[in-house]
A = this chain, B = another copy of it.
């Protein structure tokens, strides 16, 4: 039996498209309606069979909807919630896939105050540097984790439905507070993206960029894979999680200041110690990941 009769996906890109494909494959969904700012993208999604219909307004999209996934860049969250609010009726469940949660919570309380029992923010920890519905895949979330940050006002039935939907996609589900979520992902995701973008941008602006890039090899390839990520999506994440990200960046700048002073003074002993501790931690992380069936963690 279908878990969700009518599913509405707002922003049918990599994440929204993969969610739709995964639920359809598992026969967990009846009809899938797409809505978004780009008619062309929605038509592409329909042509690919990811969605069944395109809604041109929130009134028709939400009419009889069981479940709404908001999967556009997080910077649009507030405007989208404002636009959908007048048409939202219980017991339609709303969730999102935003990479930041504090700002989403803020918009939920601002824009969807009358609907709090049914709005369950979440964040699937999956993605690639590719974007767009053409990159969507029914298996994107398989073996991955989705973080759910329930509101104290949530109806347990709504939370359970969001959990089941993500589990049907193959993801495991964990609960976190929005504050913890934003701090953790600032450290292990947002900062590395910023650092990778920064390195490529800095090198690309040099007079000898072509020479430099021509000698870049597999270390550079892996370090900079995420520098090919979606600019608007990452702009929105950086702005939405600005506070936590600045804190992480400053902590990292402290580490670089230490490393710089060790380089300057030629302190090989301490440099090697830092490298050794990093290697141990990274190797252990890869081994734990492999033990949890997530590949060997070594790229």
Residues of A near any B CB (own CB < 8 A): 75, 125-129, 144-145, 147, 180, 184-185, 187-189, 191-205, 209, 211-213, 215-232, 234-236, 238-239, 242, 245-246, 249-256, 259-260, 263-264, 266, 268, 271-283, 285-286, 288-289, 295, 297-299
Contacts and interface: CB of A to CB of B under 8 A. Distances in A.
Given A192-B220, A260-B249, A272-B232, A278 B201 contact: yes
A14 to B, nearest CB: 13
B217 A226 contact: no
Contacts of A184: 211-212, 215
Given A226-B222, A235-B268, A191 B199 contact: yes
Given A199-B252, A225-B299, A226-B222, A278 B213 contact: no
A295 B220 CA distance: 13
A246 B209 CA distance: 19
A71 to B, nearest CB: 17
Nearest to A273: B231
Copies of this chain present: 2
A213 B285 contact: yes
A235 B275 CA distance: 8
B274 A197 contact: yes
A98 B274 CA distance: 22
Given A272-B231, A274-B201, A189 B252 contact: no
Nearest 9 CB-CB pairs, A to B?
A204-B281, A231-B275, A235-B272, A200-B278, A202-B255, A188-B216, A231-B276, A201-B278, A222-B222
A257 B188 CA distance: 20
Nearest to A211: B184
Given A215-B145, A286-B228, A274 B198 contact: yes
Contacts of A259: 194, 197-198, 249
Give the most central of A231, A245, A252: most B CB within 10 Å. Answer: A231
Contact of A219 (B192, B198, B205, B232): B192
B281 A200 contact: yes
A196 to B, nearest CB: 6
Contacts of A217: 125-126, 144-145, 188-189
A259 B126 CA distance: 25
Given A278-B197, A286-B228, A189 B219 contact: yes
Nearest to A252: B202
